[in-house]
Structure 1
Amino acid sequence: MNKVEFSPSLMTMDLDKFKEQITFLNDQVDSYHIDIMDGHYVPNISLSPWFIQEVRKISTLPLSAHLMVTEPAFWVQQLIDINCEWICMHAEVLDGLAFRLIDQIHDAGLKAGIVLNPETPVSVILPYIDRLDKVTIMTVDPGFAGQRFIEGALDKIVELRELREEYDYHYVIEMDGSSNRKSFKRIDEANPDIYIVGRSGLFGLDDDIAKAWSIMVADYQEMTGKVLSS
């Protein structure tokens, strides 16, 4: 798990250039991150299973759905029906549902992930951590793009790496929120497996997606001193 992976948050892409941007990124990134918001768990309403199907028409990369919803069971089945590779649910709404929904995802041959808000400790997921394929640490409050980076949340990435090493868990560790030039060095020190990049880290850097990607790579390499492998 030494290779750093980047997963663009498609909520922040330029939808006027949907096909152009996805076609370019298909050769650069490892997966796509798709936020689904219901207007209840967070006040915004964002992407949907329909959007995932549209991405699937022009990409074969793994798609990861981030469910910011109050009723995860309703959405999990929809995502299973369209064969979304990763289904990631917020721990904060899973009391009494976690084991059932994780098993439901695995029984469909898909991967189950859990997302933790900045104030939610890793201890909340310990009862079922051994079943997880991914743990996502939010470094902003959920529901809005462009928020201020919450550096203290990165301590949970370190904690998750230590737990994975000690108990041989198989989950990957992902960070989500304000991943950009200003935060790359500190994120790198925490050492997640997957960086979610959105408006401030990628799509907002230039109107031309190829130029934006080059700027992002240069920013990462300058701030971390590491060269990205292809």
Structure 2
Amino acid sequence: MSVQASVRIAPSILSADFARLGEEVRAIDDAGADWIHVDVMDGHFVPNITIGPMVVKALRPHTTKPFDVHLMISPIDAYLDAFAEAGADTITVHPEAGPHLHRTIQRIKSLGKRAGVSLNPATPAKMLDYVLEEIDLVLVMSVNPGFGGQSFIESQLRKIEAIRKQIDKLGKPIDLEVDGGIDRTTAPRAIAAGADVLVAGTATFKGGPSAYAENIRALRGS
């Protein structure tokens, strides 16, 4: 039996106006965002540098919506406590970002946070075999991480379908999130494959604050 939940939209602040981040977070909250997706990049694990725990902490008072923090950094373990203390609700990590994924997941859970695992386009679903029952979220990257505005990689639909089957077989309500190239065209395809959380940067923030609510409605309705 499928445990696929209703679709939730997690706008990525990577596409927000960085000079007005607090206002942007409040605007997407008011527009109906379910989660706030925070992309953390270090210029090492991925080819870009974004924000750190101090910015997450500064943004925390601007919304009560869950902070969905995606750590694209390596080494990973030394920064888990800082992001937990900054206000992350879910902390998602990559298997390649540290030597002991299970230990990393244990640490996130011990901090009282939801634990997620993210799979890059070339990372197989099989990487979840011995950790799936320990986590709360799987994030399928449908672009190569590092930059916003990229095109959806079609092969990831098969991966989403495979992970949906794994989650349903386990019978545990694990969120299946997709990030990369999500728009009004690709969103329904990701949902049909089994996704129940959509990360959308460009598709959410295009048009400015007056358009955010309609952008979110369009993605959810798709």
The AA in structure 2 aligned to 1:202 is T
Show CA shifts across 1:68-101 (max 9, x none).
Answer: 112011221211233421110011223x321211
The AA in structure 1 aligned to 2:78 is F
Q: State the 1:161 CA deviation.
A: 1.5
Q: For the Cα contact (< 8 Å) 1:137–1:154, is it kept in 2?
A: no
Equivalent residues in 2 for 1:200-211, closer than 5 Å: 201-204=203-206, 206-207=207-208, 209-211=209-211
> Which residue number corresponds to residue 123 of structure 2?
120
Rounded Cα–Cα distance in structure 1 between residues aligned with 2:34 and 2:184? 20
TM-score between both structures, scaled by the size of structure 1: 0.88
> Which residue number corresponds to residue 227 of structure 1?
none
> Which residue number corresponds to residue 168 of structure 1?
171
Q: For the Cα contact (< 8 Å) 1:9–1:32, is it kept in 2?
A: yes
> Which residue number corresponds to residue 48 of structure 2?
44
Q: 2:22 aligns with which of 19, 23, 34?
A: 19
Rounded Cα–Cα distance in structure 1 between residues aligned with 2:220 and 2:38? 22
**Partner SS for 1:127:** coil
> Which residue number corresponds to residue 194 of structure 1?
197
**Partner SS for 2:121:** coil
Is 7-16 or 129-138 further displaced after alignment? 7-16
> Which residue number corresponds to residue 181 of structure 1?
184
Q: For the Cα contact (< 8 Å) 2:90–2:116, is it kept in 1?
A: yes
Backbone CA RMSD of aligned residues? 1.7
Ranges of 4+ aligned residues in structure 1 off by more than 4 Å:
none
Relative contact order, higher structure (CA 8 A, sep 6+):
2
Q: For the Cα contact (< 8 Å) 2:33–2:216, is it kept in 1?
A: no
> Which residue number corresponds to residue 155 of structure 1?
158
Q: For the Cα contact (< 8 Å) 2:81–2:111, is it kept in 1?
A: no
Q: For the Cα contact (< 8 Å) 2:54–2:86, is it kept in 1?
A: no
Q: Which runs of 5+ in 2 are unaligned?
A: none
Rounded Cα–Cα distance in structure 1 between residues aligned with 2:53 and 2:89? 12
How many residues align structurally? Answer: 218
The AA in structure 2 aligned to 1:212 is Y
**Partner SS for 2:25:** helix
Q: Which runs of 5+ in 1 are unaligned?
A: 225-230
The AA in structure 2 aligned to 1:203 is F
What percentage of residue pairs aligned between the two structures are identical?
A: 29
Q: State the 1:2 CA deviation.
A: 3.1
**Partner SS for 2:91:** strand
Show CA shifts across 1:23-50 (max 9, x none).
Answer: 2322311111111111101121012111
Q: State the 1:184 CA deviation.
A: 2.2
